[in-house]
């Protein structure tokens, strides 16, 4: 099995890489700075390919995916993503663009490049890690992030419909809070107060199962999903009253 993970140099993507390494997959891990893998046990793995590019750069994505796919591509996972809260949008007028380029345009670049490679063989699977924030109608502190992840879910639905007749499956992973270093950094060093926090291992088990079953959507944990659905039913005024 040949697996490429864009966003595989840290967090959920790197944890998924560990899972597929154990399964004996040929792996390609990508991020803007692949040197981040230096010193990590997976870097010593025979045959590991690393690619450094910005997913917002369309040609760079096609070059890397095309290069790895020369020997086949069974699974393309996109975990590359960025977050900016409302405060960042106020402080820095330039911070919206990288997030939208990464979470939305970058996803299309990756899925287009992946589809081009997989259509040659008439089989394959593509996966995006979106966020449960994309299901929440009112997300006060991160509404642009939430909108970008809502777009990611909708975009993956569109690719699924287009590619299913050609033997290519598309899975949208919609996780709640996962205890990665990035989430800890965004929350002053600890994510322990986040509701229904999942460990990376729990997230990987859930995501890998959904990928193996070729599920269209993988939304977890169910408790947070239930809360989001209830919250969306509240009158708009009450939804906006919530702080974060
Ligand atoms: N952790 C959570 O609680 C949580 C919850 C819901 C959804 N998510 C989503 O899950 C994904 C992974 O989150 P994480 O916590 O594992 O974050 P992370 O550790 O920061 O991982 C992000 C990965 O994407 C790469 N990346 C970021 N921007 C990129 C770009 N423009 N081009 C290419 N690669 C890029 C990063 O490498 P470089 O920085 O070297 O490029 C890194 O490998 C994100 O999409 C996030 O929105 C996370």
Q: Supply the pLDDT for residue 244.
A: 45
Euclidean distance between CA atoms 182 and 230, whole angstroms: 28
Contact yes or no for 140/86 (Cβ under 8 A): yes
CA–CA separation, 243 vs 167, rounded Å? Answer: 44
Ligand 1 midpoint to CA 72 (Å): 25
Given a cut of 90, whether residue 72 has pLDDT beyond it is: yes
Task: Write the DSSP string, 74-112.
Answer: SEEEE-------HHHHHH-TTSHHHHHIIIIIHHHHHHH
What does the pLDDT read at residue 88? 84
- Nearest one of 161, 163, 138 to 242, comparing CA atoms: 138
Given the DSSP bridges, would you call strands 75-78 and 2-6 parallel, antiparallel or unpaired? Answer: parallel
Q: What is the mean pLDDT of residues 123-133?
A: 97
Q: Is 173 helix (H, G, I), strand (E, B) or coil?
A: strand
CA distance 208 to 240: 35
List, in order, residues 6 or more apart from 183 with CB less than 8 Å away: 177, 191, 194
CA distances from 193 to 176, 187, 198, 218, 240 (A): 13, 9, 12, 23, 21
Give the other-Cβ count within 10 Å of 204's Cβ: 20
* Confidence (pLDDT) at 240: 61
Distance between CA atoms of residues 128 and 153, nearest Å: 8
CA-nearest of 74, 14, 86, 23 to 50 is 14
**pLDDT over 70 percentage in the chain:** 96
Site to probe by mutation for ligand 1, drawn from 16, 81, 207 as the one with most ligand atoms within 8 Å of Cβ, is 81
- Alpha-carbon Rg for the chain, nearest whole angstrom, is 18
pLDDT band (50, 70, 90) for residue 238: low
Q: Structurally, how many domains does the chain consist of?
A: 1
> Does the Cβ of 210 fall within 6 Å of ligand 1?
no
Structure confidence by residue, pLDDT tens digits, 78-106: 999 999 888 888 888 888 999 999 999 99
| The pLDDT of residue 199 | 98
Q: What is the mean pLDDT of residues 213-228?
A: 97
Cα 42 to its chain centre, rounded Å, is 20
* Cα 215 to ligand 1 centroid, rounded to whole Å: 22
CB 102 within 8 Å of CB 80: yes
pLDDT surpassing 80 at residue 193 = yes
Q: What is the pLDDT of residue 138?
A: 80
Q: Please work out whether the CB of residue 32 comes within 6 Å of at least one atom of ligand 1.
A: yes
Report the share of the chain in percent with pLDDT over 90.
84
pLDDT of residue 101: 97
Question: What mean pLDDT is predicted for residues 106-133?
Answer: 97
Q: What is the pLDDT of residues 135-166, one digit of tens each?
A: 998 877 768 999 999 999 999 999 999 999 99
102 Cβ below 6 A of ligand 1: yes
> Strand 75-78 vs strand 124-129: parallel, antiparallel, or unpaired?
parallel
pLDDT of residue 2: 98
Q: Whose CA is nearest to atom 27 of ligand 1?
A: 80
Could you tell me the residue range of the domain that residue 69 belongs to? 2-241
Which residue is closest in CA terms to ligand 1's atom 12? 79
HSE (side-chain half, CA atoms, 13 Å) at 111: 27
pLDDT at position 235 is: 78
Residue 243 has pLDDT above 60, yes or no: no
CATH of the domain at 201: 3.40.50.720
pLDDT tens, position by position, 3-61: 999 999 999 999 999 999 999 999 999 999 999 999 999 999 989 999 999 999 999 99
As to burial, measured by CB atoms within 10 angstroms (0-12 exposed, 13-18 middle, 19+ buried), residue 33 is: exposed
For residue 10, how far is its CA from the centre of ligand 1 (angstroms)?
Answer: 7
């Amino acid at each position: 099995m040949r697996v490429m993970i864009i966003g595989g140099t840290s967090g959920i993507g790197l944890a998924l890489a560990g899972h597929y390494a154990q399964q004996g997959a040929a792996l390609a891990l990508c991020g803007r700075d692949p040197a981040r893998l230096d010193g990590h046990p997976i870097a010593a793995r025979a045959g590991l390919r690393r690619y450094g590019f910005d997913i917002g750069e369309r040609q760079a994505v096609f070059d890397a995916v095309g290069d790895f796919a020369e020997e086949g591509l069974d699974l393309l996972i996109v975990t590359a993503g960025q977050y900016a809260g409302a405060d960042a949008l106020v402080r820095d007028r330039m911070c919206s663009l990288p997030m939208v380029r990464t979470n939305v345009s970058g996803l299309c670049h990756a899925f287009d490049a992946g589809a081009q490679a997989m259509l040659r063989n008439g089989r394959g699977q593509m996966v995006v890690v979106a966020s449960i924030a994309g299901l929440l109608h009112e997300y006060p502190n991160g509404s642009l992030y939430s909108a970008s992840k809502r777009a990611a879910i909708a975009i993956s639905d569109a690719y699924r419909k287009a590619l299913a007749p050609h033997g290519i499956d598309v899975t949208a992973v919609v996780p709640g809070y996962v205890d990665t270093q990035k989430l800890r950094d965004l929350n002053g060093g600890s994510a322990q107060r986040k509701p229904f926090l999942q460990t990376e291992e729990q997230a990987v088990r859930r995501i890998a199962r959904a990928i193996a079953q070729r599920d269209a959507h993988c939304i977890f944990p169910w408790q947070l999903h239930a809360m989001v659905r209830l919250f969306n039913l509240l009158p708009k005024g009450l939804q906006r009253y919530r702080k974060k």
